[in-house]
Structure 1
Amino acid sequence: MNDQLGKSDDKLVTRLSADEIASEEVVQEFLEKYDKESQFRKFKPKSKLAILVSTIAISFSLFHLWVAGIGSLEAIKLRSIHLTFVMVLIFLLYPATKKGMRGKPGIFDWVMVALSLVAGLYMVFANDQLATRGGLPITRDYIVGALGILVVLEAGRRALGKELPILGVIFLIYAYFGEYVPGTFGHSGFSLNRIIAHMYLGSEGIFGVALGVSATFIFLFVLFGAFLGETGMAKLINDSSMAMAGTSPGGPAKVAVFASGIMGTISGSAVANVATTGAFTIPLMKSVGYKPHFAGAVEAVASTGGQLMPPVMGAAAFIMAEFLNIPYKNIMLAALIPAFLYYLAVFAMVHLEALKTGLKGVSRDKLPIMKVVLKERGHLVLPLVAIVYLLMKGVTPTYAAFYGILVAIGASFLRKTTRMSWRGLLMALEMGAKASIGVAIATAVVGFIVGVSSLTSLGITLGDNMISFAHGNLFATLVLTMITAIILGMGMPTTAVYIVGATIAAPALLKLGIAPLAAHLFVFYFGNISNVTPPVALAAFTGAGIAGSSPSQTGWAAARLASAGFIIPFIWIYSPALIAQGSLGEILWAVVTATVGIIALACAVQGFMLKTTNILQRVLLFVAAFGLIKPGLITDTIGITVLILVYLWQRYQRSSVNVEGVNI
């Protein structure tokens, strides 16, 4: 089945290779095929249903802009209205089965829309009454609460697939049947009324912190990304990347690294980013000689790293800031060095691959001119500059995103070619609302897992058992946490993976003395890396579909390219300087040694330095890489010594061959 997936887009890929740049229609075709959250119903343009959905989506965005700018709502009411909009859109846009993709919403869909309005808005009107009763629910509360749980689960199944809702149901069953669970995981069990009240009537379950972050920070940053897209930011990124790196050996792969990294930090979805930027970069990489599976892998790894790259690191990073109760700028600063090392490794590997296989860049006369690109669209970076400035000044992410949107609109009017029309404004409002659906419903469904964990103390129990299983060994516990995050990431969105991992795995690391920020970033990183980790590497499989290559071959190539991402999180656990925790001297030393170590790792993985390595040289390069990446003066000394020896060895070999008259 996977091989069929890899071969299914040959005709489309051929067309793209001829055109070089994918049209918007082709990009949308890839999104609908590979990104679950983009698989909407198709309505006839300007039909009553299309107008209705557009009106709801635009109203959704305007509501959040009102709240962020001038409005004020209690947290529970804001979350309720946010979830209501999301569920109504889901039942109108996502059919119950694949057969309904081309059809209109049926009776069952409209019933679910009505139930969404009841279950979603109930807490807006009943919360004050509940407070006057001292938080004591009545029969009506329990009935609507049970209804709300079922509606949220069905909405999650439609928009995200069955994996996350099934996990939510398992946790709910565990809460009810706890007395029958053997061993340390057993508990006395809770009544249905207690479970419903905890999941629906308070802020521990569905309407918890995660949904709250979705209703404040996440939605506005997704909307910000939609406005950037409407101004033509993607063209600026692609053209400037081509102008910078297009002529260098294997230039299009470096373009993919630059463009996908920047776009990924805005889009927040690895799969969607592969489908969007990959439609442009993958055919371009193939056109200069990169093998299809390698081209697909480069795009997948670069897009995955977008969520690790400040300033906007995807939804999970905002939730992390709330969980840890620290400013978001602290997350940004901590993630900066690891993101640099991750992309340095990918960039070095594609460069070495080009040298190893003798690939050239694109002819200069076929590339955009940087001066022209910046003159025409350089002003579009102003919104990003504004966002970074505001976040670093300590402004809340809500206000930063709100003013970022205003700057994006204003900046677009600086050039006639980028000026947003009324249609463009409405399109950005609509697309932003639709793009937020997946993250929003994921945070609601994950509320069951977080809620049950708080109700039963499951997180503490799991942490104790992980430590016991690892015999108190920190490294073994880290490996277990990594495996947990990667397995969760095989079937769930990154945001959900982080929340679940932070709930059930991070407590073990905290008990072993790891700093909260380091522990949560560890879970966050591997939740992202799961996108390029076989056997289920969704971003890599998407790249394979566009490249026309084998998904399994592309997946393993992606895992190889992302090898630094599997190592870096372990390093900052032992050397917090890598996440900017320490003195300036410690941080600078960690950056320098890790940078050299990452380059050594790239040479080892690619089997190429100045020339193709032999087996012993490759082993020594791995030794040098781990010595330099691992903190410590002794290991750093060993690493740099070994690296210099391999370099001199290769230089001697190359000079000897040149003396003999062989053209290398």
Structure 2
Amino acid sequence: MNGTVEGGAARGPSMGTCRPIADVLACLLTLTAVAWAVSLPRYLGVGFYPQQFFAVVLGLVLPIAFLTLPARRGDDRPRVPWFDVVLAVLSAAAVGYIAVRYPVLINKIFVRPPEIWIPGLITILLTLEALRRATGWALVIIISVFLLYGLFGDIVPGRLQGRAQSWDLLAGYMAFDANGILGLPMSVASTIVIAFILFGVLLGLTGGSNFFTDAAMLGMGRFRGGSMKISVLASGLFGSISGSAVANVVGTGIVTIPMIKRDGYPAHKAAAIEAVASTGGQLMPPVMGAAAFLMAEMLSVSYATVVLAALLPALLYYIALFIQADLEAARLGISPVPKSEIPPARGVLKGAHFIVGFAILIFTLFSLNWQPERAALLAAVSIIVTSLALGYRGKRPALSAIGASLTNTGYAVVEIVLISAASGLVIGILNLTGLSFNLTYALVQLGGGSIILLLALSAIVCIVLGMGLPTLGVYVLLAALVAPALVKLGIPPIAAHLYVLYFGMMSMITPPIAMAAFAAAALAKAPAMSTGFAAMRFGWAAYVVPVLFVFSPSLLLMGDSFHIGLAVITAIIGVWLVSAALAGYFASLLSPTKRGLFALFGLAALVPAGAFSGGVYSDIVGVVGGVALMATEFARSRRGVVQAES
């Protein structure tokens, strides 16, 4: 069989022939998105349906996928088989036909003429095949189950029974309707995501990612456990741009994990803290991951609203991780990073111009209320200008490299666009069959009207569905299947969506399939499962904080200033106490009894005052008891130091 495949591949054109074609398509993909973001068609007096633009984007992505991604993942093919060339041409033709004929055919979906269902069926099948090549089988299988439900939902028993659809109507609806492939996820991927990935690619090209790592090393390298703190800071900064936990692990972990191991940390802990830090980047404003932009669209709120709501939970996540890094270093006796490896401050400060891009991004998003894609493009332009003028580490980007960033961006968004297009299939099935209402009702009934039980069920569903799936696919599934049930019981919509995003993201560090943790384990040469369980301990805050902000929106910066300030203070104290309990160290090693007390007072302090009628008393007990416990430990440690000196 291998001989047959290789023989077929040998009869195809070489990669040297196909790669330049893919490069041109990738560059066109980025330029098309940029032109749409700056409203070039409107300035030229040309009118398009947004779905036509989305179809053009997909029509560029599918040929790129078939020309560059082998049918079997990991194959190193010198030639592109002819069947892949045919699939590339067929996908471009089918989606191109949809783009051109869309205004004429959009009102004929339910008539089901062949000119609608034939290109629709081709587009669905080829999108799923390209998705399989890009991400593997998991998401393809899940989406295929939804499509089968759309065809045979009437035979499903009980409350989940749906309205079955004919295959030709389903094919046309999914390809043409705004609730299908060309729907909301494609809207976000085709505009906002491409602009932000271009921003991230330019940061990497111009040395911005090196600047953030150097700044983290300069800021944290002189303290105990500096290598772990560098990992937390650098991965958080880089992760908020990359939008991918696994990509973040690979991008920063290749530097930080060996550094952490060399300082004396066990390999599995070095990998775990990098995985947790990288995963949290997608929850950290101001950029966050692609899911945050989609959340804003699905909730019909501004991106700034999502960022503000996500800010405090993300800070608590990283505060908990940072404290554990410090306490683990103290417990293990880890020394600071050697001075010879810390970059000079003068050299690092020469890269401060990279901050200008973020300042422009934040100012245009929050003060001028610009659309995210325009804000990202202006920030990207500023990165180019300042880098050409000032450079970093004595280097300035070549103009040819800046031009190549357009192609690199096109390749970087292929997977996200495919996931977004396929996610539209899920949304289309939910709308067409009534599954969304049925599933919401079933979850509410199963929870018995209890918010606590429903939250627990939802968390399990989120982690299970998230296993093995990319971030954007995780969020689309959870936002459509789980979040409506939470909203039904009175939870604020933004709290419900952030809840499912958090628990969906936790699948990245939760065994048995913890993609970010396993990627870090491979880099650290550590046992995968040990790394996964260590990552769960380091990332404990992400399992607790979402439950808290569901019951008290003050942690989402919703409410009056007094209650928000009180929630912030008590939450930080609670995070510190629980982190100490998990590390088994505060000012000195903690006995099992004291670890229990630290955890008990910490959890009590974490509960916001507005969570329930007696919440304020829980806060008082937690804060007063916790502060007294910390003071006692400090005093005991100090006495031990004095006695040792005498």
Q: Which TM bucket (shorter chain)?
A: over 0.9
| Residue 12 of structure 1: aligned partner | none
Number of residue pairs matched by the alignment: 620
| Residue 353 of structure 1: aligned partner | 328
Does the CA contact (< 8 Å) of 1:130 and 1:137 recur in 2?
A: no
| Residue 149 of structure 1: aligned partner | 124
From 3, 17, 28, the counterpart of 1:59? 28
Does the CA contact (< 8 Å) of 1:76 and 1:123 recur in 2?
A: no
| Residue 568 of structure 1: aligned partner | 545
Please give the residue correspondences for 1:412-423 in structure 2 after superposition, counting only pairs within 5 Å.
412-416=387-391, 417-423=394-400
For 1:98 and 1:540, the matched residues in 2 are separated by 21
From 367, 371, 391, the counterpart of 2:365? 391
Does the CA contact (< 8 Å) of 1:268 and 1:306 recur in 2?
A: yes
Q: Does 1:86 align with 2:61?
A: yes
| Residue 265 of structure 1: aligned partner | 240
From 227, 230, 245, the counterpart of 1:252? 227
Alpha-carbon offset, residue 430 of structure 1 = 1.6
| Residue 3 of structure 2: aligned partner | none
With over 3 angstroms needed to count, the CA separation of the structure-2 counterparts of 1:537 and 1:116, relative to structure 1, is: same
| Residue 464 of structure 1: aligned partner | 441
Question: What SS does the corresponding residue of 2:180 show, helix, strand or coil?
Answer: coil
For 1:356 and 1:374, the matched residues in 2 are separated by 33
For 2:175 and 2:220, the matched residues in 1 are separated by 52
| Residue 114 of structure 2: aligned partner | 139
Does the CA contact (< 8 Å) of 2:518 and 2:531 recur in 1?
A: yes
Q: Does 1:606 align with 2:597?
A: no
Question: What SS does the corresponding residue of 1:177 show, helix, strand or coil?
Answer: helix
Task: Give CA deviations for 1:356-401 in whole Å, capped at 9, x if unaligned.
Answer: 01110112233112232112x1112211111111110210112111
Alpha-carbon offset, residue 661 of structure 1 = 3.7
| Residue 455 of structure 2: aligned partner | 478
347-356 or 527-536: which moved more?
527-536
248-257 or 442-451: which moved more?
442-451
Alpha-carbon offset, residue 188 of structure 1 = 3.9
For 2:386 and 2:377, the matched residues in 1 are separated by 14
Q: Does 1:317 align with 2:317?
A: no
1:78 maps to a residue whose letter is: F
Task: Give CA deviations for 1:526-559 in whole Å, capped at 9, x if unaligned.
Answer: 1212111111111111111111111111111111
For 2:17 and 2:127, the matched residues in 1 are separated by 26
Question: What SS does the corresponding residue of 1:609 show, helix, strand or coil?
Answer: coil
For 2:14 and 2:349, the matched residues in 1 are separated by 36
For 1:644 and 1:518, the matched residues in 2 are separated by 30
| Residue 455 of structure 1: aligned partner | 432
Q: Does 1:110 align with 2:81?
A: no
Please give the residue correspondences for 1:175-574 in structure 2 after superposition, counting only pairs within 5 Å.
175-375=150-350, 377-393=351-367, 394-416=369-391, 417-574=394-551
For 1:187 and 1:44, the matched residues in 2 are separated by 47
Question: What SS does the corresponding residue of 1:51 show, helix, strand or coil?
Answer: helix
| Residue 20 of structure 1: aligned partner | none
For 1:141 and 1:437, the matched residues in 2 are separated by 25
Task: Give CA deviations for 1:55-95 in whole Å, capped at 9, x if unaligned.
Answer: 22112112222222242342111100111111111111111
For 2:327 and 2:499, the matched residues in 1 are separated by 28
1:599 maps to a residue whose letter is: W
Alpha-carbon offset, residue 620 of structure 1 = 0.8
644-653 or 296-305: which moved more?
644-653
| Residue 38 of structure 2: aligned partner | 69
From 157, 160, 185, the counterpart of 2:135? 160
2:244 maps to a residue whose letter is: S
| Residue 7 of structure 2: aligned partner | none
Alpha-carbon offset, residue 420 of structure 1 = 2.4
Alpha-carbon offset, residue 325 of structure 1 = 0.6
With over 3 angstroms needed to count, the CA separation of the structure-2 counterparts of 1:144 and 1:131, relative to structure 1, is: closer
For 2:105 and 2:16, the matched residues in 1 are separated by 42
273-282 or 427-436: which moved more?
427-436
Task: Give CA deviations for 1:610-642 in whole Å, capped at 9, x if unaligned.
Answer: 111111111111111111110121011110122
Task: Give CA deviations for 1:572-606 in whole Å, capped at 9, x if unaligned.
Answer: 01110101111111111111110111111110111
1:493 maps to a residue whose letter is: P
| Residue 120 of structure 1: aligned partner | 95
* RMSD of aligned residue pairs (Cα, Å): 1.9
483-492 or 265-274: which moved more?
483-492
Question: What SS does the corresponding residue of 2:389 show, helix, strand or coil?
Answer: coil
Which ranges of structure 2 fall in alignment gaps of 5 or more residues? 1-11, 42-47, 610-615
With over 3 angstroms needed to count, the CA separation of the structure-2 counterparts of 1:320 and 1:137, relative to structure 1, is: same
Does the CA contact (< 8 Å) of 1:252 and 1:362 recur in 2?
A: yes
Does the CA contact (< 8 Å) of 1:623 and 1:642 recur in 2?
A: no
Does the CA contact (< 8 Å) of 1:244 and 1:370 recur in 2?
A: no
2:619 maps to a residue whose letter is: D
Q: Does 1:129 align with 2:90?
A: no
For 2:232 and 2:272, the matched residues in 1 are separated by 11
1:634 maps to a residue whose letter is: Y
For 2:75 and 2:358, the matched residues in 1 are separated by 39
330-339 or 424-433: which moved more?
424-433
Does the CA contact (< 8 Å) of 2:474 and 2:504 recur in 1?
A: yes
2:457 maps to a residue whose letter is: L
Alpha-carbon offset, residue 186 of structure 1 = 1.2
Does the CA contact (< 8 Å) of 2:272 and 2:532 recur in 1?
A: yes
Task: Give CA deviations for 1:501-525 in whole Å, capped at 9, x if unaligned.
Answer: 0101011001000111111111111
From 5, 8, 17, the counterpart of 1:48? 17
For 2:429 and 2:161, the matched residues in 1 are separated by 13
Does the CA contact (< 8 Å) of 2:312 and 2:555 recur in 1?
A: yes
Over the matched positions of the two proteins, sequence identity in percent amounts to 34
Task: Give CA deviations for 1:205-242 in whole Å, capped at 9, x if unaligned.
Answer: 11111111111111111111111111100110111111
For 1:140 and 1:92, the matched residues in 2 are separated by 27
Question: What SS does the corresponding residue of 1:47 show, helix, strand or coil?
Answer: helix
For 1:628 and 1:189, the matched residues in 2 are separated by 51
Which ranges of structure 1 fall in alignment gaps of 5 or more residues? 1-42
Question: What SS does the corresponding residue of 2:353 show, helix, strand or coil?
Answer: helix
Q: Does 1:626 align with 2:603?
A: yes
Does the CA contact (< 8 Å) of 2:226 and 2:337 recur in 1?
A: yes
Does the CA contact (< 8 Å) of 2:147 and 2:429 recur in 1?
A: yes
Alpha-carbon offset, residue 135 of structure 1 = 6.8
**Relative contact order, CA 8 A, sep 6+: which one is greater?**
1
